Structure 1
Amino acid sequence: MPRHTLLALALTLALPALAVSSASVAQTSPQAPVYATSTTPYPGTITLEVDATNLSQRVFTVKQRIPVQAGEVTLLFPKWLPGNHADYGRVDKVAGLQISANGQKIAWKRDPLDVYAFKVDVPQGATNLDVAFQFISPTDREQGRVVMTPNMLNLQWNTVALYPAGYAASAITFAPSVKLPAGWQAATALELQGRAGDVVTYKPVDFDTLVDSPMFAGRYFKTIDLSNGVGKPVRLNVVADDAKYLDAKPDHIDAHRRLVQQMRKLYGAEHYDHYDFLFALSGQMSGIGLEHHRSSENGVGVKYFTSWDPKSGSTDLLAHEYNHSWDGKYRRGADLTTPSFNTPMQGSLLWVYEGQTQYWGNVITARAGLRNFDTAKDALALVAATYAENRAGLSWRALQDTTNDPIIAKRTSKAYGSWQLSEDYYSGGQMIWLEVDARLRAKSNNKVSLDDFAKKFFGMNDGDFKVNPYTFEDVAATLNSLVADDWGKFLHDRLDGKVPLTGGIEASGWRLVFKDKPNAYAKAAAAEYGRGGADFVYSLGLSVGGDGVISNVRWDSPAFNAGIGPGMTAMAVNGKQYSSEVLEDAVKAAKTDKKPIELLVKEFDLYRTIQLPYYDGLRYPHLERIEGKADLLSAIYAPKK
């Protein structure tokens, strides 16, 4: 009898048994390993040597010596990364892995159920594993963040270290060193042990602290003291593509010093022994905004200092990342507080971690004078408009659910962000906290504000920088201790989509309106980042790049309902070659003559004309005062004395 016939017969006879045991079969299916995380100190210190001199090929070369005992050892590459809130570890960029003991090469095997885990059988008599590999950093932006250029680099220790499973990251000690390109200077929150030529050695630290202390290094480097001898040392460490971009105007630097002062006034405590802004001004190394407890990674364009204009102001990036030292690093949602970098994270409280930080980022930037009140207000108008008209997805998906987005989408772009939503806990959270602030002020007759919550919830225990976890109940209880209310219901109503997110605008004495010209902040941002594009999001419902490619289409907008989608190219408007000015003129004309706009688009190799029946003219978000209502917004943005 053929083999397949015998198998069919056997299965038929065994059906009752299979039905009974199906649960046990499911339970024995292969599962990804779960690693213990003992807080007992790991025996010995792991040495870590990084050669960061191969700039042209953008390769970090790594050597480690790991104390071990005979038997099976699992070495882990960090997977779940703080600040990223997800499993972003780039193990795909690890190459050339070789492991040896006593001068003899040892075979390793990757765990197929956890590709971040490497299994090694340590032979008898071996006391150390010698590990060598390369981290092949991106050579173009399609591969990820570019972190090496001819003039600067960004070293994140989680990309250049393996660590033993079975121990909490805080229980494993590393002794790190880096060989830098000749003559370069570096900044990190780590404590310097010594420098011999271009090899920099740092004092041994636990792995948690090491990963939380990245490095910026560069040929053109400058450190600016922001403390003026008050409180803990705070430094702005700047690397740039060229020395000329390091020149900063005195009033601009003074505003950075006020940023530190205003943050200290807000919280009344500092949860670090020193703080280092790592700040890159580059058109070559990729931008970044990533928080750490005693430092932050920040990357912007080269003209941050040289194009300073107090009227338009600066980005709120530095305030946002600095705020995280309190909100996100010192105090962190309990389900994000994990013992190792291979323990899964959950982000249910990211609307506090990122949402309130987004709120304070704009507020403290204004209080410091890095942007004026009008600029801060205009920036807020864009957020308010987003949640008034550009988040149709909130009809099917709650803001709370977007706290899963770092894991769901890995911060990749989405075709229809207004419908799919994308990490809305940032700006949606900002709107919630504006309303909380206004409500605290109104209910207390201006005696209590969100400043008081910040100080009480994040500002306790000056000098303590051990992570202090919290829960939703802790947040609600602290609000209730300031002003009695049903804060749990208030927050859940907004997080779960029962109440719109825009209530804080009118509660603070302003209203969202639309005018036929962009506000000053939007205009300045378009000039700096727009690259010749045009914004018709709140009129036609689309944005167009400088090359005519439609980059964004608002769900259920006139453009969407006419059949326009992202990726099409605008070729002509009403028979004229496309330009942003021609399309703008057509929108204005349609308001008067009530004739549909004809848009010729290219979709792959097809051309077609689409009729856009839109007659309401240009619309751009602004905030305007509500007469007779208290102006809480001006009070919120006013500097603390």
Structure 2
Amino acid sequence: MKKEPLLYSLSPFDPAGHRFKVQLSIQRPDPKGQELTLPAWIPGSYLIRDFSRQVQTLRAACKGKAVAMRKTGNHSWQCAPCQGPLVVEYLVYAWDLSVRGAHFDESHAFFNGASVFLSVTGQTHEPCLVRLNPPPHVRGWKVYTSLPAAHNHPEAARHHGFGVYLAPDYDALIDHPIEMGTPQVARFKAHGAEHEMVFTGVLPNLDLERIARDTQKICAAQIALFEPISKKAPFLDSAERYVFMTMVTGDGYGGLEHRASTALMAARQDLPSLDAEPGEGYQTFLGLVSHEYFHTWNVKRIKPAAFSPYDLSRENHTRLLWVFEGFTSYYDDLMLLRSGVIKPDDYLRMLGKVISTVHRSAGRHKQSIADSSFDAWTRYYKQDENSPNAIVSYYTKGSLVALGLDIVIRQGSQGAYSLDDVMRLLWERYGRDFYTGGGKGIAERSMTRLIREATGVDVADFIARHVDGCEDVPLARLLPLQGIAMAWKPASGIPALDVRTRSVNGETHIATVYEGGAAHAGGLSAADVIVAVDGLRVAEPASLDKLLARHKAGDKVLVHVFRRDELRAFTVTLAAPAASECRLSYAG
């Protein structure tokens, strides 16, 4: 007998207390006692988040009578056996201003399903109805989501309205985040597919038209990359539109991909206004938009086998994040160039910054990006003051590996093939029919074979050296083959203390002491607060730079620091400024 859909009803009922009220109706619960779980993590963010800690006052009833419940694990509950419909009610605290969880106040409500919707064990493949209710005493709010309305339901939501929405299963339910409120909205079509851009926050004079125009070009270019003939957008298998949901704050930055939408955080100053030309921050925002949109193909549909399907109760390890995040990080800025929203010189500047970032990390000599991918849960997402000395980013070095592979493929095939052909093969074999054809993922050790199949070029040695090994990608040799000259210059002429600092309440704190550098040799440590150099007070990091600029490499300086609440003094021999800034230009 076909089971009736699960019914979730969500009400943002307490804006001052930041609480959602959720009711889950299960028509045919497990007669032995229904188990309920909440995801321990959210796909795309590889860290155990423990969303269950925000669940409050969980209770259950059957035919009006209370049903006993007990906690059985960090993320699981067990209901006592009952006959007939089981109704579970609970409150969720929603005050996480991020792209991962839930946030609710008098200005808006936003949530990812992974943080609010309980999973019904044994029924995760069943359809899910979601009734979204407006907050009390609030008028004018609308709903923005890629989750389709339940068109055959008598209470079906209508055009951004409150009402009933439909997900084909639990995996889809938690893969369509929802924004409620009165945001600024722009719309456009890319190859006929509807897109919405939703901006929440205080945004005077926001140039929505410009953002929509530039984003449309990026989306169209990416669709054409993967589907050069049909130009069919990938999300049309599960949604009527793609939605960019952006929460704008003073200094926010980040994104999280979903199958037909993305949640973004952006700094207000990075967005263009009607009365000023945008700066480099706007290019950073467009790069974020491009990155998350590219994930619509690469990781939301083209997946590693380890994510097919996800196990949301524990870590899902894969050594392939260098493909899914690294390749995406390569294409995000490249698609800005290809779509024409940035100029070639802008692209080289942005690429030079990535090369410089990777070059400054001593951890690249100690950890491969394959190991970095596997260790994402315990190292990349749990960074500390020593992380730059110990780990490498599968995002940034992964993007340089993608660049290197692209050039090697172009050279090895005499220009007949490129990394684009690899992405199209992955899309055709693993991604295009992922949600309709059974969903298989890429095996852990198969990228060398797949690249050769797509291009005819053997990259086994390249991957052994630069993916499984810790060798730098030989860009000084490869880039000139594409007509790009590469040079290194000191970031400044100031003698180096070889630390990374941050300003905290007008003080200069050492965030990282670079291994083998001047500060390391002199005895300074991360978390030290620099208070004086040669008896002169240090306040903000800029004042430290001014004091160091009075010296030359090889000079000894007396550095006073507070370590915890103890005043310490160290003699440090300043180093020559490192050649840490990569400059790229077109040869000739």
Residue 515 of structure 2 is aligned to residue 515 of structure 1: no
Cα separation, 2, equivalents of 1:506 and 1:552: 31
Greater CA drift, 337-346 or 62-71: 337-346
Letter in 2 for 1:211: I
**Which residue number in structure 1 is paired with residue 153 of structure 2?**
none
**Which residue number in structure 2 is paired with residue 118 of structure 1?**
77
Cα separation, 1, equivalents of 2:355 and 2:374: 23
**Which residue number in structure 2 is paired with residue 426 of structure 1?**
395
Q: What CA RMSD, in Å, does the superposition of the two structures yield over aligned residues?
A: 3.0
Q: Of 404, 415, 435, which aligns to 2:404?
A: 435
Contact 2:41 2:50 in 1 (8 A): yes
Residue 214 of structure 2 is aligned to residue 255 of structure 1: yes
**Which residue number in structure 2 is paired with residue 577 of structure 1?**
537
CA positional deviation for 1:162: 1.7
**Which residue number in structure 1 is paired with residue 32 of structure 2?**
71
Q: Of 549, 552, 564, which aligns to 2:509?
A: 549
Letter in 1 for 2:389: W
Residue 429 of structure 2 is aligned to residue 470 of structure 1: no
Q: Of 346, 349, 354, which aligns to 2:325?
A: 354
Residue 128 of structure 2 is aligned to residue 174 of structure 1: yes
Trace 1:492-641 onto structure 2 (pairs within 5 A).
492-497=464-469, 499-509=470-480, 510-517=485-492, 540-545=498-503, 547=506, 548-578=508-538, 579-591=540-552, 594-617=554-577, 620-625=580-585
Trace 1:229-244 onto structure 2 (pairs within 5 A).
230-236=191-197, 238-242=198-202, 244=204
Give per-residue Cα distances to partners, 1:352-400, cap 9 Å, x unaligned.
Answer: 1111111111211233344433333233223323333422x34443322
Letter in 2 for 1:375: D
**Which residue number in structure 2 is paired with residue 22 of structure 1?**
none
Residue 105 of structure 2 is aligned to residue 160 of structure 1: no
Cα separation, 1, equivalents of 2:329 and 2:405: 14
Greater CA drift, 54-63 or 464-473: 464-473
Cα separation, 1, equivalents of 2:529 and 2:489: 27
Letter in 2 for 1:325: T
Letter in 2 for 1:596: K
**Which residue number in structure 2 is paired with residue 397 of structure 1?**
367
Q: Of 162, 179, 194, which aligns to 1:216?
A: 179
Aligned sequence identity (%): 17
**Which residue number in structure 2 is paired with residue 377 of structure 1?**
348
Cα separation, 1, equivalents of 2:96 and 2:325: 30
Cα separation, 1, equivalents of 2:201 and 2:112: 20
Residue 67 of structure 2 is aligned to residue 106 of structure 1: yes
Give per-residue Cα distances to partners, 1:399-439, cap 9 Å, x unaligned.
Answer: 222223342258233121112326x2111211111110111
Larger Rg: 1
Cα separation, 2, equivalents of 1:87 and 1:109: 22
**Which residue number in structure 1 is paired with residue 258 of structure 2?**
292
Q: Of 59, 66, 86, which aligns to 2:19?
A: 59
Q: What stretches of structure 1 of length at least 5 have no aligned partner?
A: 1-40, 519-535, 629-641
Cα separation, 2, equivalents of 1:242 and 1:396: 44
**Which residue number in structure 2 is paired with residue 190 of structure 1?**
147
Contact 1:256 1:368 in 2 (8 A): no
Q: What stretches of structure 2 of length at least 5 have no aligned partner?
A: 151-155
**Which residue number in structure 1 is paired with residue 224 of structure 2?**
265
Residue 375 of structure 2 is aligned to residue 412 of structure 1: no
Q: Structure 1's 100 and 462: CA in aligned 2 closer, same or farther, altered over 3 A?
A: closer
Contact 1:537 1:553 in 2 (8 A): no
Contact 2:61 2:67 in 1 (8 A): yes
Give per-residue Cα distances to partners, 1:74-109, cap 9 Å, x unaligned.
Answer: 111122432124433411111100011111111112
Contact 1:189 1:276 in 2 (8 A): yes
Cα separation, 1, equivalents of 2:344 and 2:496: 24
Paired residue total: 555
- SS, match of residue 493 in structure 1: helix
Q: Structure 1's 409 and 540: CA in aligned 2 closer, same or farther, altered over 3 A?
A: closer
Cα separation, 2, equivalents of 1:583 and 1:54: 48
Letter in 2 for 1:545: S
Contact 1:319 1:361 in 2 (8 A): yes
Contact 1:76 1:163 in 2 (8 A): yes
Letter in 2 for 1:264: I
Give per-residue Cα distances to partners, 1:215-248, cap 9 Å, x unaligned.
Answer: 1222233132142xx2322222x22223525443
- SS, match of residue 471 in structure 1: coil
Contact 2:186 2:212 in 1 (8 A): no
CA positional deviation for 1:495: 2.2
**Which residue number in structure 2 is paired with residue 128 of structure 1?**
85
CA positional deviation for 1:66: 1.0
Return the TM-score normalized by structure 2: 0.86
Letter in 1 for 2:498: L
**Which residue number in structure 1 is paired with residue 302 of structure 2?**
331
CA positional deviation for 1:453: 1.7
CA positional deviation for 1:257: 1.3
CA positional deviation for 1:49: 0.6
Letter in 1 for 2:384: K
**Which residue number in structure 2 is paired with residue 203 of structure 1?**
166
Give per-residue Cα distances to partners, 1:424-463, cap 9 Å, x unaligned.
Answer: 2111211111110111122223332212222222256996
